[in-house]
């Protein structure tokens, strides 16, 4: 069994030329699993997100640093080196690093690296074992391939905004860059599969992953509902297209979620609420019937839940295993005893931050034999040039 001092990907070297969120999310995940990730950044500028604040990390002198919380979210377990790939010297240095790399990740526009001789078609001839992952807005092919892609645009074009928001309100995006994050997840899975293939065959390959493709893939049941029926789904606010009642309701003092997943749970809810008759009403007796009479049953449930406090309802319903829960703000989330027990809040040592630590989100993976590790805080720009050149045998001969 591999030592827990390392990780499942110990020994895998990743050259990360990506910026913003999708690519960095993928490489942070791989770094958490033990990979050696070298973040290649533009001299004097670095990753755009370093400046995407406030908030910024407070330094030892009590003043803001130039490292934003946004940047921190996707750049743990990496080392930084500044290289200007537009210069011959920079390209030569990158090629020396590639001699020891297993994976290259980039999110330049389609064809953007070809003029530097750093595209996959060129590099595969010199580095046939290299796994090369290209993250773009629209993919390497198709009529939109040359367009720049942004999470907000992709959420709109990929359909999720048509499903999100109040029934008669404006289409809404998800509150975080979910198209970027999910693309990073798919990219990480693709890289792991390509490494497995490389180890079996000796051949690397090109991974073409796009925000739009990923966004459409994670439409999941909403997408297949449409493809199966041909019917456009309507926005249901917090409602569910296939299960009722399954949404946010207002208790007497605070909003809560009631997530009735089957007829048995609906009956239990009705009994706890003192309204057992509703479970036998032909309009509500099955989930199909409740969907057909969505507005009526949801109105009745709202009237019932409005009679007691959220805490009281959660206690009563959880006691009979009816799925329900609060609508937490972020303070509630990180104060929750279960969340605390699971260690979702990571306090990571950092010698350039005030108090000597950074507040980050933990990796959710729990691996018994090769657990994730938190070895390095997000790096300062070009912080590790000397050690990278030494470790990767990339110094000028």
Which residues are part of the catalytic machinery? 180
Q: Which residues pair with 105 in a beta bridge?
A: 16, 133
Neighbours of 177 (CB within 10 A): 24
Question: Distance between CA 325 and CA 313 in Å, rounded?
Answer: 9
CB count in 10 Å sphere of residue 225: 16
Q: Give the 3-state secondary structure of the chain.
A: CCCCCCCCCCCCEEEEECCCCHHHHHHHHHHHCCCEEEEEECCCCCCHHHHCCCCEEECCCCCEEEEEHHHHCCCCCEEEEECCCCCHHHHHHHHHHHCCCCEEEECCCCCCCHHHCCCHHHHHHHCCCCEEEEEECCCCCCCCCCCCCCHHHHHHHCCHHHHCCCCCCCCCCCCCCHHHHHHHHHHHHHHHHHHHHHHHHCCCEEEEEEHHHHHHHCCHHHHHHHHHHCCCCCCCCCCCCCCCCEEEEECCCCEEEEECCCHHHHHHHHHHCCCCHHHHCCCCCCHHHHHHCHHHHHHHHHHHHCCCCHHHHHHHHHHCCCCEEECCCHHHHHHCHHHHHHCCEEEEECCCCHHHEEEEECCCCCCCCCCCCCCCCCCCCCCCHHHHHHHCCCCCC
Work out the number of other CB atoms within 10 angstroms of the CB of residue 80.
23
Quick one: how far is CA 26 from the chain centroid?
9
- Max Cα-Cα span within the chain: 84
């Amino acid at each position: 069994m591999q030592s827990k001092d390392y990780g499942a990907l110990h020994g895998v070297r990743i050259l990360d030329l990506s910026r913003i969120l999708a690519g960095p999310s993928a490489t942070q995940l791989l770094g958490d699993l033990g990979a050696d990730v070298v973040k290649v950044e533009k001299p004097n500028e670095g990753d755009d997100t370093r400046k995407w604040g406030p908030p910024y990390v407070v330094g030892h002198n009590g003043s803001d640093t130039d490292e934003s919380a946004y940047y921190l979210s996707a750049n743990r377990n990496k080392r930084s080196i500044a290289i200007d790939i537009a210069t011959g010297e920079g390209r030569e240095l990158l090629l020396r690093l590639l001699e020891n790399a297993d994976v290259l990740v980039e999110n330049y526009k389609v064809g953007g690296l070809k003029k530097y001789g750093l595209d996959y078609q060129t590099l595969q001839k010199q580095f046939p074992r290299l796994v090369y992952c290209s993250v773009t807005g629209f993919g390497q092919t198709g009529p939109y391939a040359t367009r720049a892609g942004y999470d907000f645009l992709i959420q709109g074009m990929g359909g999720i905004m048509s499903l999100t928001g109040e029934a008669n309100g404006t289409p809404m995006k998800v509150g975080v860059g979910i198209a970027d994050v999910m693309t990073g997840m798919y990219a990480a899975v693709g890289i792991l599969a390509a490494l497995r293939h490389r180890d079996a065959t000796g051949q690397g390959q090109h991974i073409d992953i796009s925000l739009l493709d990923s966004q459409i893939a994670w439409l999941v049941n909403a997408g297949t509902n449409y493809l199966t029926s041909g019917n456009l789904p309507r926005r249901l606010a917090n409602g569910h297209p296939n299960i009722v009642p399954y949404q946010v309701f207002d208790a007497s003092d605070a909003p809560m979620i009631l997530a009735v997943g089957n007829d048995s749970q609906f009956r239990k809810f009705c009994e706890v609420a003192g309204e057992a008759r509703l479970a036998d009403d032909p309009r509500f007796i099955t989930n199909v019937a409740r969907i057909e009479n969505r507005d009526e049953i949801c109105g009745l449930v709202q009237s019932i839940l409005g009679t007691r406090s959220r805490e009281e309802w959660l206690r009563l319903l959880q006691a009979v295993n009816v799925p329900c829960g609060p609508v937490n703000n972020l303070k509630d989330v990180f104060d929750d005893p279960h969340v605390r027990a699971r260690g979702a809040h990571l306090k990571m040592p950092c010698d350039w931050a005030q108090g000597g630590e950074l507040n980050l989100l933990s990796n959710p993976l729990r691996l018994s034999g090769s657990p994730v590790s938190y070895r390095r805080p997000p790096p300062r720009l070009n912080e590790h040039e000397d050690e990278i050149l030494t470790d990767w045998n990339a110094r000028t001969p």
